Amino acid sequence: MNKFKPVDPIKSPRFSGIKSFMRLPHTTTLENVDFAIIGVPSDAGASFRTGQRDGPAAIRKISALLRHHNPVIDISPFDYISGIDYGDLPVVPGYIEEGYKRIEENLFPIVDAGIIPILLGGDHAITLPELRSIVKKHGPVALLHFDAHSDTVDEYFGKPYNHGTSFKRAVEEELLLVENSIQVGLRGSIYSKDHLNIPKNLGFEVVTAEEIREIGFTKLLQKIQETIGKNKVFLTFDVDFVDPAYAPGTGTPEIGGFSSGETIDLIRGVKDLNFIGFDVVEVLPSYDPSEITALLAANVVYEFISILAYKKRLEG
């Protein structure tokens, strides 16, 4: 039981060692594993700034700061669950469709083994092949999508695949229970007057940043719960959900977002949902000189791990 856990920071300084996530063991075993941290160092789908390929390494590096007890959920996750850092999935720089195939194929054995994947991006294009893989195991899933953007554009430059089209393609490929899926935090200038209607017409529940400020987090959390219900849900977290003052290291920043503190509160608030996987995308280290975006992403992942442990504790 709980075979794999991080190195003890009281016995070994946190700046030492090879940088796996939280200094978890780096192994590709699929036995006695509840969750796997998996890097997807791809920026083949980035439409503006590039460099998200360096996201997984930056998140891993700063994750050494994370301590083993979460006082808000009041849980020491590794008392309940076993986790590994699986390393990175193979990608193909410059060839997005080939990269998609490799991500989908190489993620599948992990998901098929009943392990919850926590993927570190990478630009947001990676979520499409992740979902393809997950749906092969679970069937269509609900989506909980934190983002400044809906990522439901039909095409860019005449091409169907990039980080702005993932969820249009996901609906077309019937990967989602779209009536049970919700996009939260949308904001900023848009391509056309009716652009915000695109995700709504696809079937997503949409709550913009302005609407969140109007209704408050309690009502937002109720709306999320009502939309998703007990369905299996994949949480995709684009760091540009957070204001660029707190998360400057990203590809397409939008002002008027949420603070890192508000973000962590929100994620703790969804802990009772039936999660089957998570990703954190769009960390771009070359625009993140003080590592605060990577630090935020690492803490978001820590909350995911805490949620998984919390659910295991509830099961008894």
Interface residues with Mn ion (CB under 5 A) are 124, 147-149, 151, 238, 240
Q: Which residues contact 71 (CB under 8 A, 6 or more apart)?
A: none
User: At closest approach, how far in Å is the CB of 17 from Mn ion?
Assistant: 32
* Nearer to Mn ion (CB atom), residue 85 or residue 240: 240
Q: At its nearest, how many Å lie between Mn ion and the CB of residue 151?
A: 4
Which CB sits closer to Mn ion, 88 or 254?
Answer: 254
Residue among 148 and 294 whose Cβ is closer to Mn ion: 148
Confirm if 132 and 89 have CB atoms less than 8 A apart. no
Measured from the CB of residue 128, what is the shortest distance to Mn ion in angstroms?
11
CB-nearer residue toward Mn ion: 83 or 257? 257
Which residue number, 59 or 66, has a Cβ lying nearer to Mn ion? 59
Give min distance, CB of 165 to Mn ion, in A: 10
With beta carbons less than 8 A apart as the criterion, state whether 309 and 80 touch.
Answer: yes
CB of 267 to Mn ion, least distance (A): 16
Q: List, in sequence order, every residue forming a beta bridge with 182; answer none if it has no partner.
A: 144, 205
Q: 120, 135, 126: which is closest to 178 by C-alpha?
A: 135
Smallest gap from residue 125 Cβ to Mn ion (A):
9
Contacts with 100 (C-beta within 8 Å, 6 or more apart), sequence order: 125, 128, 129, 132, 161
Kindly provide the b/e burial profile for residues 282-312, where b requires at least 16 CB atoms within 10 angstroms of the residue's own CB.
bbbbebbeebbbbbbbbbbbbbbbbbbbbbb
Of 214, 288, 299, give the one whose Cα is nearest residue 263: 299
Taking the mean position of all CA atoms in its chain, how far away is CA 92? 21
Residue 63 or 236: which CB sits closer to Mn ion? 236
Secondary element (H or E) of residue 70: none
